[in-house]
Amino acid sequence: MLDLATIRTALTGTPIRTRFAPSVTGHLHLGHAVNAVYVWGLARALGAEVVVRLEDHDRGRFRPEFEESILADLEWLGLRSDLPAPSRQSDHADRYEGAAERLSGSGHTFWCECSRRMLAEAPEPPEGDTLRYPGTCRDRGLAEGAGRALRVRIDPGEERFEDLRLGPQVQDPSGQAGDFVLRDGPGHWTYQHCVAVDDLTEEITLVIRGEDILESTGRQLRLARLLGRTVLPRYLHHPLVTDPSGRKLSKKEFAKSLGDLRREGWTPERVLGEAAFLGGLLPRSTLIEAGQLPALFA
C-alpha cells in the first residue's frame, strides 16, 4: 500500500528529487503516462523536484523524432520539469567515462572479449539464469581493445532495500547477473551504468518507476555503492499497465502512442485519468488535470 506519510517520513532530512526517464526508443504510450502520474503526482504531493531525463544511451534505437514527440507529449499533458532543460544522456559521455575510470582505478572493472554467442553457449548456471555472466574474462587481465566490453566486478553479497510500495526487498546482483557490462563492445554505455551514474550526479533521492525494472535495482544500488554514493536513493516501483488479457502493455505490442490517442480526440485529462486508473490509483477512469494528480496520493 502507498502511504504518503510513510514515504515522507522515509525521506525526512533529504531534499526530495525524482525523475521521469523515458528511453528515447519510441513514442510515449499509456504505460509512460502511468509512470508520469506517479512521478508528478507524488513529487507535487511531497514538494519534490522532477528532472526530465531523456535516456538516449541506446544510439542504435534512438531517433530524433522520438525525443521531439516525448517533449511535446509532456507539454500537452501539462507535466513540466523543474530544471530549465531536460537532461540528455548523449550529452553526458564525460560523466559515464569519469565514473568508469573511478571504478577501474579502484580495481572494480575488467575488459571482456566474450561474444554474445560464446556466452549463450556457456554451461547454464544452476538456477537456469542464462543472463548471468559466467566470469570468463574476469581474471584474464585483458587490455582495452576493439570490440571488448568493460564489465564491473560484482562480488557475492545481498543488496537489501525497502521499496516504498512493496516493502523489504533482497536481491543478489552477483547471482542474478554476475559481472555486468558498463560499456558494450561497440562502445556504448549501458542502461545500468548510465542510470546509476545519472541518479548519483543528478542527486536523485527518490526513484519512481514500474515494477518491470525492480530486478535491476540491486545492480544499480551496488554500482552506486562502488561509486562511493553514501546516501542511496529510495525506490518506489509501481504496478504495470496490463491489457484486458493481463499482459504487460508494451509499445511493441498493442499500445497506441499518446500521439495516436490525441489524434483520436483524447484530451490530456482523459489520458491522465485513464493512466491513474490503469496504475491502480482510481477505481475507474475519470478526467484529471495535471494539477489534480497530487490529490491521488493524499
Our finding on whether 74 is near ligand GLU (CB under 6 A) is no
- Over the window 24 to 63, marking each residue x when it contacts ligand GLU by CB under 6 A and - when it does not, the resulting string is -------------------------------x--------
Task: Report the distance separating Cα 150 and Cα 199, nearest Å.
Answer: 20
Smaller CB separation from ligand GLU, 112 or 240: 240
Contact 50, 206 (CB under 8 A): no
Instruction: List beta partners, residue 87.
Output: 53
Smaller CB separation from ligand GLU, 26 or 268: 26
Hey, which bits of 74-187 come out as E strands? 87-88, 109-112, 149-152, 159-163, 167-171, 181-183
Our CA angle for 80, 37, 26, nearest 5°, is 75
- Over the window 7 to 26, marking each residue x when it contacts ligand GLU by CB under 6 A and - when it does not, the resulting string is --------------xxx---
Smaller CB separation from ligand GLU, 23 or 174: 23
Question: Given candidates 29, 92, 132, 209, which one binds ligand GLU under the rule CB under 6 A?
Answer: 209
Q: Which residues inside 142-201 make contact with ligand GLU, applying CB under 6 A? A: 195
Smaller CB separation from ligand GLU, 135 or 259: 259
Smaller CB separation from ligand GLU, 21 or 34: 21
Our finding on whether 213 is near ligand GLU (CB under 6 A) is yes
Closest CA to 298 of 22, 5, 82, 9: 5
Closest CA to 22 of 74, 59, 96, 60: 74
Contact 94, 167 (CB under 8 A): no
Closest CA to 111 of 153, 55, 71: 153
Our finding on whether 234 is near ligand GLU (CB under 6 A) is no
Using CB under 6 A as the binding criterion, the count of chain residues that bind ligand GLU stands at 7
In whole angstroms, the minimum distance from the beta carbon of 111 to ligand GLU comes to 26
Q: Which residues bind to ligand GLU, rule: CB under 6 A?
A: 21-23, 55, 195, 209, 213
